[in-house]
Homo-oligomer: A and B are copies of this chain.
């Protein structure tokens, strides 16, 4: 259990270190706590024993440990009300309420990334558990045909199909009719199986160039099932602005994680409220923190995450996420 003064010291160190990125010395603290530096030092020894603080070397100032940040986030941080400036920038989006949900979210995290200099990401839930609504074709010029796969939640995947000159659009239409007749309503992850057993054998007999046609739809289905492009990443290079990432090796580590889609997908999480993960808890790298929240609005789900250095303005980020969440939620609940 920490004394009041100890908590104040920890709070001071965390907040000051977040601002300056430099180790905090006992002298910097004593003014605002109204006691001498020696007293602070005595307390700091105790906080260090509890592993809430760390030193870079023997005679450096203190910096918060991972545990220290966590203690701060859980116990010391005060919910900061947003600055007018931050709010103003986000309001330009939410006042334009004709934006579709995805667009509103994307735009708002772009702004967050810009004003905070952190990296942001939106992860749609993907279409995995959607059901097939219908497939459709639109004949274009020459022998080119647009094929579309549409799910019940409104995901769309489309591909262009080039038929041989001697094969008519009718052949594709047969396939489409068959799929619409036999497979509509099936959850996407069961579709490839169903296609294989109930559609392929039939069109194999009656449709010319059935292999090409079948494969096009098959690809479209499997792509919409794994829909990984449903990851909207903004401001990756903001990490370069942080002093703790002035070393190229560290940047490399982070960026290789960012390029690994599987790693990013794991950020998605279905939890209530706004969750803060510091350092190793972030599952990305010991050097970063992730603040994220899950949304579910009329069945469209996803996760919004803000990724920054451990030395992150947690209070500001939490309040920004909170604001966004209440706005995108409210928008549709009213209707």
Contact = CB atoms under 8 A, between A and B. Distances in A.
Interface of A: 98-103, 133-134, 138, 140-144, 146, 148, 150, 152-154, 156, 158-162, 164-165, 211-212, 215-216, 219, 235-237, 240-241, 245-248, 251-252, 255-256, 258-259, 298-300, 332, 335
Q: How many copies make up the complex?
A: 2
Contact of A154 (B101, B140, B236): B140
A28 B134 CA distance: 67
A3 B211 CA distance: 59
Q: Which 6 A-B pairs have CB atoms at the shortest separation, nearest pair first? A: A98-B215, A237-B255, A146-B154, A100-B159, A156-B158, A240-B252
Given A215-B98, A219-B103, A258-B237, A298 B150 contact: no
A332 B212 contact: no
A309 to B, nearest CB: 14
Contacts of A159: 100, 103
Interface SS, A side: mixed
Contacts of A98: 211-212, 215-216, 219
Contact of A100 (B102, B161, B211, B240): B161
Contact of A251 (B156, B212, B240, B335): B240
A240 B252 CA distance: 6
Contacts of A143: 335
B140 A100 contact: no
Contact of A156 (B156, B219, B235): B156
14 contacts: A98-B212, A98-B219, A100-B160, A100-B161, A101-B162, A134-B138, A144-B154, A156-B158, A164-B335, A237-B256, A237-B258, A240-B252, A245-B248, A248-B251
B144 A140 contact: no
A327 B162 CA distance: 16
Contact of A140 (B152, B246, B252): B152
